[in-house]
């Protein structure tokens, strides 16, 4: 399995004959969707979901399929059966690749702000992308795509989340709001205290997960 991190919260996972993209939002480089066979969207916020870009990708590739929650799917009218609504506890496969859905809501930002639906995706029983939540799947996770910064989290919560899941590898995502100095501080703290191997990948560079950490 190869993983490529793209801008902010998006990743692409690749196997021979299959290219899967998770959360291509407005801060994601356009080429992240090149050649995609399937797209998973955790929730409706613009840093995870860009309707126009996703519609353009679907128009360019008539076999592209999308799995997401009900609120995102409602905005993708016109794509018909190419969009599948999923929720917590669901499981499906993409060309034989097993995917489980875990989680229901975005993490609370403030009591005055409504929480939107948010689902996480466990891919091939190994790689988990929680979206904007600290959802803990019921089984083991080999590689956790950990959201390291947002208006809804503290660095201490990020560390505790990794410790609770205990992945072999934690890969930093959701870090587009950090300055260079802020990224260095957060990565230093998380890397030193989470208890898992922790890496930040260069955007756009495919990496063999079995070879991480490097």
**pLDDT, tens only, 118-176:** 999 999 999 999 999 999 999 999 999 999 999 999 999 999 999 999 999 999 999 99
Residue 112 has pLDDT above 60, yes or no: yes
pLDDT computed for residue 7 by the predictor: 85
How far from 88 is each of 6, 10, 81, 121, 127, CA to CA, in Å?
26, 21, 20, 9, 16
Give the predicted TM-score (pTM) of the model. Answer: 0.96
Question: Do 209 and 1 touch, CB atoms closer than 8 A?
Answer: yes
Instruction: Provide the 10 A C-beta neighbour count for residue 211.
Output: 8
Length of the chain, please?
214
Residue 55 token pair: 């519609």
Query: Which domains does the chain possess?
Result: 2-202 (3.60.15.10)
> What does the alpha-carbon distance between residue 65 and residue 79 come to, in Å, rounded to a whole number?
9
Q: Give residue for tokens 């613009």.
A: 46
Q: With cut-offs at 50, 70 and 90, classify the pLDDT of residue 211.
A: confident
**What tens digit of pLDDT does each residue of 34-59 get?**
999 999 999 999 999 999 999 999 99
Question: What is the number of alpha carbons within 13 Å of residue 140 lying toward its C-beta?
Answer: 4
Residue among 57, 83, 82 nearest 69 (CA): 83
DSSP of 172-201 = EES-TT--HHHHHHHHHHHHHHSSSEEE-P
Residue 4 has pLDDT above 70, yes or no: yes
Sign of CA dihedral 180, 44, 122, 88: positive
């Amino acid at each position: 399995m190869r993983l490529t991190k793209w801008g902010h919260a998006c990743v692409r996972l690749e196997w021979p004959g299959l290219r899967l993209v998770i959360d291509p939002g407005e801060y994601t480089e356009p080429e992240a969707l090149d050649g995609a066979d399937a797209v998973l969207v955790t929730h409706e916020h613009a840093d995870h979901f860009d309707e126009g870009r996703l519609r353009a990708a679907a128009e360019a590739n008539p076999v592209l399929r999308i799995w997401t929650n009900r609120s995102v799917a409602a905005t993708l009218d016109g794509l018909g059966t190419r969009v599948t609504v999923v929720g917590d506890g669901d499981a499906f496969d993409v060309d034989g690749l097993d995917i489980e859905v875990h989680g229901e809501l975005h993490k609370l930002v403030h009591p005055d702000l409504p929480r939107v639906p948010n689902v996480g995706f466990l891919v091939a029983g190994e790689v988990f992308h929680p979206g904007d939540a600290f959802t803990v799947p019921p089984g083991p996770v080999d590689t956790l795509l950990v959201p390291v910064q947002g208006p809804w989290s503290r660095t201490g919560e990020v560390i505790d989340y990794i410790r609770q899941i205990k992945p072999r590898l934690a890969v930093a995502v959701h870090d587009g709001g950090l300055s260079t100095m802020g990224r260095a501080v957060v990565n230093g703290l998380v890397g030193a205290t989470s208890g898992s191997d922790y890496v930040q990948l260069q955007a756009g560079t495919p990496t063999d997960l079995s070879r991480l950490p490097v």
